[in-house]
A and B are shown apart, each in its own frame.
Chain A
């Protein structure tokens, strides 16, 4: 018989209590309850608070989650083992919630407005937390009871659910089976016919969708496409060659600005043809990448990262400064940047532009894919794995790295051109460091060194936040938290790169074995 573990209940209660307090202080309880109410088909009007029932539901769901997660840690066999820790857990959670209501309720009663210090805590939201009761002590008691009961309920639910599962199969086995199933969903693409069908389906979708969506979704999709380009470009130098370039945004900015200066009427009035300007902009970015790479590519990993970071900051500050205002338009940026035309056809409508972005993404993805399998690509991957060994096998590491940086700068320049041309505007604030951090993150989230992974990552990082408009205030917060969690749980990304493997006839490949058994 296992000992009843009260400490884990206490910890769980404490952790969830802190999360709850934090959520309340940033004003997420309102938003969360509003989301719940929207999910259940009862959208909340703007500037009104969600109904009481949804607030209770939200709080109860938090408590149930807390209870079930602490019950999971117990790995219980009997019901009594669950109840006691759940009571402790619920008690701590309830106590913290009740204290919160008590403290802020009394502030409201005295008439202090805490919004001077905690901007999200309005009197209305405090009232909501107090379950619309006027007396703080009363509401504290009610909250305490609610949280305790919900936590115990959550623990019991987990116990019952777990018991049901345990009757069927051993749990560890079932988890393994889930993992294999997940792998299988993606592995059906291995079959060539299935792959072609998926490809054709995706293409049809991409041709069809931009025509029926509004321009807003085309905008979002275009942004995703530009970020896919950036991701593929960064993947050349960081994913395959293994050289961390944090200041990747500098090449993006240089491409965008070169293009803008060549096609916009304002600072210089050159008004060049789109395609010519595109080529020049890409060439300039590539040249800058080459020149920057010459002195710095011999540096070791983190130094390289920080030098490129410095370079990106220099580019941004120079673009913003008064020194270059007459040349680059200064902090106001450049307006009325030209759009593409081809054989007299205008590409300026958002639908056509999305098509253009798609075409270029497909082209670049194809080129990158071929590059990876070429001699150069294999040399890059050898450098990533071990520079010394790569050198010993006769690879000129320096020129390989230089080539990778030049190419990736060129791709970034292309993305910059598309970005500037689509928005018809570019300014220094479009090229802040956050852009390159986003690109690194989407590459990691999707799976380093894998082009489909990059596409998934771009969709997840640039597409998802647009869908979750309600929580737009909280999305950067969630983004940061998700990044950390992602790295902790699945550091290789959603779609990790498949390594070409040599079969060892004496040892069976564990993955294949598992698939066979399933």
Chain B
């Protein structure tokens, strides 16, 4: 009787194995058919619409990539999912809001315009100030988060660390709600970064708007990513970070101060999250206490997509996710409400086919 059961189970598993492939192939065929339908039969979207989707995907992807790098850095060193990372980004967005609000009330009259405020009189300084404040505060939040919540648990099981991170995330979210209220706040940009203004290019006879805020955040996220790559690859700090990620104990024996490196990693990831929070504020224009949670989950998805622990992977994953999310619904002919579904389905499919992510290397058992 027992033997029979075992055989039955084995057969079932075998069927499951083939069913997986069958389902995969069926899904691929179905998707190809949908894309063919949308692109060549229905022709529901003109090229300018596609360009618009791609642009918004790239902009979103840049922000995801910045947050995803933070996840990846922390995961690479501590093997923990820093669930509170999205909230650090939310803090950055709030900083942007408050800096702009304060500067909006500082008068800076000039001869021709007595009502001019500082925000519009010195827009560049205002923006730089917002980024400085946002990145500093977020960096400090990352530092204190690690120091208070994670450092005492350095050698604890990963489940415990995960719960701590979830707790910290809930705490920060609710603290923001209680402090600033649950309603969404409008962020008033300086006049030169008006969200509706931009360059217009013609594509197939129709105009496509490339907004200043979008271009600005795309360029800035690219610059930050290049800067981070140089930091990790060329500087002493980057070398010690890589060493700690490879093997904490050996790194400590080679004279690397592990605690310090972990702190610095959290500061760097906080700074990047803060920058992307400020960008989010400037580009999207709305902030409240749940601003960070969905981008946080998405960014982690992006990090896994690219291969956790791998910095170029996080960048690639972020951009890919952003583009898939904004082009996917149109491409597959699905309702636009379901863009998050497409993002998560992509993640699941990638993980099933290639569990180490797009650029991830095979990890040894020890790191599992």
Contacts and interface: CB of A to CB of B under 8 A. Distances in A.
A405 interface: no
Nearest to B304: A306
Main SS at interface, chain B: helix
Given A399-B9, A483-B164, A488-B153, A307 B169 contact: no
B167 A119 contact: no
B297 A309 contact: yes
A321 interface: yes
A313 B81 contact: no
A307 B163 contact: no
A444 B171 contact: no
Interface string A274-314: 00000000000000000000111011111101110111011
A27 interface: yes
A306 B337 contact: no
Contacts of B148: 484
B20 A306 contact: no
B294 to A, nearest CB: 9
A149 interface: no
B107 interface: no
B340 A317 contact: yes
A396 B10 CA distance: 10
A440 interface: yes
A440 B169 CA distance: 15
Given A398-B13, A491-B156, A303 B170 contact: no
Interface string B166-190: 1111111111001111000000000
Interface in A445-501: 448, 473-474, 476-477, 479-484, 486-488, 491
A477 B160 CA distance: 19
A192 to B, nearest CB: 33
Given A244-B159, A317-B337, A440 B166 contact: yes
B297 A313 contact: yes
Q: How large is the interface on A (under 10, 10 to 19, 20 to 34, 35 or more residues)?
A: 35 or more
Contacts of A313: 297, 340-341, 344
A488 B334 CA distance: 46
A26 B168 CA distance: 17
A202 to B, nearest CB: 28
A358 B215 CA distance: 59
A479 B166 CA distance: 11
A26 B179 contact: yes
Interface string A311-340: 101100110111100000000000000000
B171 A302 contact: no
Given A118-B180, A317-B338, A487-B153, A294 B348 contact: no
Contacts of A441: 163, 166-167
B201 interface: no
A473 B189 CA distance: 32
Contacts of B171: 477, 480-481, 483-484
B308 interface: yes
B345 interface: yes
A411 B159 CA distance: 22
Interface in B44-85: 75, 79, 81
Contact of A119 (B170, B181, B300, B344): B181
A318 B341 contact: yes
B149 interface: yes
A322 B341 CA distance: 13
B335 A322 contact: yes
Given A322-B337, A388-B365, A480 B160 contact: no
A482 B180 contact: no
B368 interface: yes
A474 B178 contact: yes
Interface string A118-136: 1110000000000000000
A302 B16 CA distance: 23
Interface string B81-111: 1000000000000000010010000000000
Given A303-B308, A306-B81, A444-B160, 19 more contacts: A119-B180, A244-B159, A296-B351, A302-B75, A302-B158, A310-B344, A314-B341, A323-B337, A399-B13, A440-B163, A476-B174, A477-B175, A480-B171, A481-B167, A481-B171, A482-B167, A483-B170, A487-B160, A488-B152
30 contacts: A27-B178, A119-B181, A294-B16, A299-B351, A302-B75, A302-B79, A302-B158, A303-B355, A306-B81, A306-B301, A310-B301, A310-B345, A310-B347, A314-B344, A317-B337, A320-B337, A321-B335, A323-B338, A444-B160, A474-B178, A476-B173, A479-B167, A483-B163, A483-B170, A483-B171, A484-B148, A484-B167, A484-B171, A486-B167, A487-B160
